[in-house]
């Protein structure tokens, strides 16, 4: 039985054979696309290829979560940040003098990850990159890749049974192969995951150190679904959490993705007893991650599942505990419809030009714990003066 040492390369189990295909496609094409369903490993595959070849280019940039970044910051802000990285200069804009000429004179490799609109590709200025430049796009939508200029599209393949078993074993047993007593059940879970790396990691992490009876019970739960899907596996993992873990997970989803781990621990510890332990448990279950900058990160399928759980609390936003959707926040605040159900609010005020806040708008929310408002500096002092209750954290 092979032991597992936990080296970083294990994260990319079973990816080498696809990596070789992509490297060949890159040689012959300027723009290639990686296409597949959520959780199949598009971002990981793109990262492996990017890391292998980036040193052979004059400049490089891996822009992850393009769709989400544009939703949060706007197209111009993301594009300017992207160009600044490529040209290694602060405050670069597309209308900066001679910007197109400068881009045309460098050979770059870029990854635009999770695009859902071909316009997102065009606005990044990829047509201006110099000869020999390479662009890798990832998307769940094949047509987006075609319209975005990809001349070759690779469908990211599911992990085969051998590699699926290895990835599952690493999270379930911390070794490359299952324990003998759990071999048959391990194959059951591998089949249920259908080669999805995300599902395999979630299942394995959930079952780590559990008894064989608990494994059998989990197989029965997942098999109750008419057609086992990744979304069902993720939801089953959430359902198995305790109340504290569920609350912390939903708070991460709605309020804290992209925030530093230290900051999140500090805030959550003011609200929950055992918050640090709860965060650690969720990390062990692969329900979120910490990126290289020490920030909370999460697969978009987990984020979508969490937000859907929050939204299903009520069809009326004022009757939900967490408000994250700008339209819902606007409706509640603009119409002064706050209730004692609301515990947290996240809102980018740049997304609304005509929000009218009454001085008393928070008085009807006595259980409000978090406010994460992206506000202009001149308004921030007003918020801080208005929210004097020590139980509320302004992020």
The reported pTM is 0.79
DSSP 3-state assignment of 342?
Answer: coil
Strand runs labelled E in the chain: 31-35, 59-63, 108-112, 134-139, 152-155, 289-290, 296-297, 322-323, 344-348, 370-374, 393-394
Angstrom distance (rounded) from CA 53 to CA 174: 30
The answer to whether the CB of 372 falls within 8 A of the CB of 326 is no
Return the pLDDT at 380: 58
pLDDT of residue 371: 87
| pLDDT for position 379 | 55
Q: In a structure prediction context, what are the per-residue pLDDT tens digits for the chain, which is 395 residues long?
A: 343 333 334 557 888 889 999 999 999 999 999 999 888 889 999 999 999 999 999 999 999 999 988 888 888 889 889 988 998 888 777 777 778 888 899 999 999 999 999 999 988 888 889 999 999 999 999 999 999 999 999 999 999 999 999 999 999 999 988 989 999 999 999 998 889 999 999 999 999 999 999 999 988 888 776 655 788 888 888 988 999 999 999 999 999 998 999 999 999 999 999 999 999 999 999 899 898 888 999 988 899 999 999 999 999 999 999 999 988 998 898 888 999 999 999 987 766 666 777 767 888 999 999 888 776 555 555 555 555 444 444 44
- Number of Cβ within 10 Å of residue 210's Cβ equals 13
- Tell me the chain's radius of gyration from C-alpha atoms: 23
Among 116, 161, 109, 174, residue whose Cα is nearest residue 141: 116
Q: Check if the beta carbon of residue 259 is closer than 8 Å to that of residue 265.
A: no
Q: How far is CA 162 from the centre of its chain?
A: 27
Q: Which two tokens stand for residue 381?
A: 């002092």
- Count Cβ atoms below 10 Å from residue 356 Cβ, excluding itself: 11
Q: Are 47 and 62 in contact (CB under 8 A)?
A: yes
With CA atoms as reference, report the closest residue to 160 among 196, 203, 185, 202.
Answer: 196
pLDDT value at residue 384 = 57
Q: What is the pLDDT of residue 168?
A: 94
Which pLDDT belongs to residue 1? 39
- Tokens of residue 212, six digits: 């064989």
**Residue 43 CB contacts under 8 Å (≥ 6 apart), including other chains:** 64, 113, 114, 138
Would you say the C-alpha torsion 357, 360, 363, 369 has a positive or negative sign? positive
| 25 contacts: CB under 8 Å, gap ≥ 6 | 32, 152, 154
d(CA 194, CA 320): 34
Return the domain boundaries, the chain: 11-155, 176-239, 243-312, 313-395
Tell me what pLDDT residue 393 has. Answer: 47
At the topology level, CATH places domain 243-312 in: Arc Repressor Mutant, subunit A (1.10.10)
Same CATH topology for 11-155 and 243-312: the answer is: no
Indicate the DSSP class of residue 88.
T
d(C-alpha 144, C-alpha 384), whole Å? 43
What digits encode the pLDDT tens for the residues 169-188?
Answer: 999 999 988 989 999 999 99
CATH number listed for the domain at residues 11-155:
3.40.50.300
Residue 338, SS3 per DSSP: coil
DSSP 25-73: HHHH-SEEEEE--TTSSHHHHHHHHHHHHGGGSSEEEEE--HHHHHHHH
Structure tokens at 367: 């259980």
Cα(217)–Cα(177) distance, rounded to whole angstroms?
22
- Give the pLDDT of residue 375: 61
- In angstroms, rounded to a whole number, what is the distance separating the alpha carbons of residues 381 and 375? 10
CA distance 38 to 136: 17
């Amino acid at each position: 039985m092979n032991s597992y040492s936990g080296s970083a390369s294990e994260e990319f189990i079973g990816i080498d054979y696809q990596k070789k295909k992509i490297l060949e496609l890159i040689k012959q094409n300027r723009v290639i696309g990686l296409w597949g369903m959520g959780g199949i490993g598009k971002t990981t595959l793109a990262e492996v290829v990017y890391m292998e070849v980036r040193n052979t280019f004059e400049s490089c940039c891996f822009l992850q979560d393009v769709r989400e970044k544009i939703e949060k910051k706007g197209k111009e802000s993301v594009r300017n940040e992207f160009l600044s990285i490529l040209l290694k200069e602060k405050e670069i804009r597309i209308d900066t003098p001679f910007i197109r000429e400068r881009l045309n004179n460098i050979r770059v490799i870029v990854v635009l990850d999770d695009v859902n609109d071909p316009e997102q590709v065009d606005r990044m200025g990829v047509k201006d990159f110099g000869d020999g430049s390479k662009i890798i796009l990832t998307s769940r939508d094949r047509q987006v890749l075609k319209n975005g200029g990809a001349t070759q599209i690779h469908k990211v393949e599911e992990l085969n049974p051998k590699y699926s078993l290895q990835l599952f074993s690493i999270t379930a047993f911390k070794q490359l192969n299952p324990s003998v007593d759990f071999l048959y059940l391990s194959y059951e879970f591998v089949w249920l995951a259908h080669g999805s790396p995300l599902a395999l990691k979630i299942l394995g992490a959930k079952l780590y150190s559990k008894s064989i009876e608990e494994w059998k019970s989990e197989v029965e739960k997942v098999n109750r679904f008419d057609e086992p899907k990744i979304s069902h596996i993720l939801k089953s993992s959430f359902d198995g959490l305790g109340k504290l873990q569920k609350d912390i997970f939903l708070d991460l989803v709605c309020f804290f993705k992209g925030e530093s781990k230290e900051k999140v621990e500090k805030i959550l510890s003011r609200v929950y007893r055992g918050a640090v332990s709860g965060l650690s448990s969720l990390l062990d279950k692969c329900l979120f991650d910490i990126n290289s900058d020490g920030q909370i990160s999460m697969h978009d399928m987990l984020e979508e599942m969490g937000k859907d759980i929050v939204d299903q609390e009520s069809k009326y936003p004022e009757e939900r505990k967490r408000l994250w959707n700008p339209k819902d926040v606007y409706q509640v605040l603009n119409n002064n419809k706050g209730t004692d159900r609301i515990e947290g609010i996240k809102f980018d005020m740049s997304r609304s030009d005509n929000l009218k806040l009454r001085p008393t708008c928070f008085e009807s929310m006595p259980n409000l714990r978090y406010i994460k408002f992206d506000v202009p500096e001149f308004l921030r002092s007003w918020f801080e003066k208005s929210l004097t209750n020590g139980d509320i954290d302004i992020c």
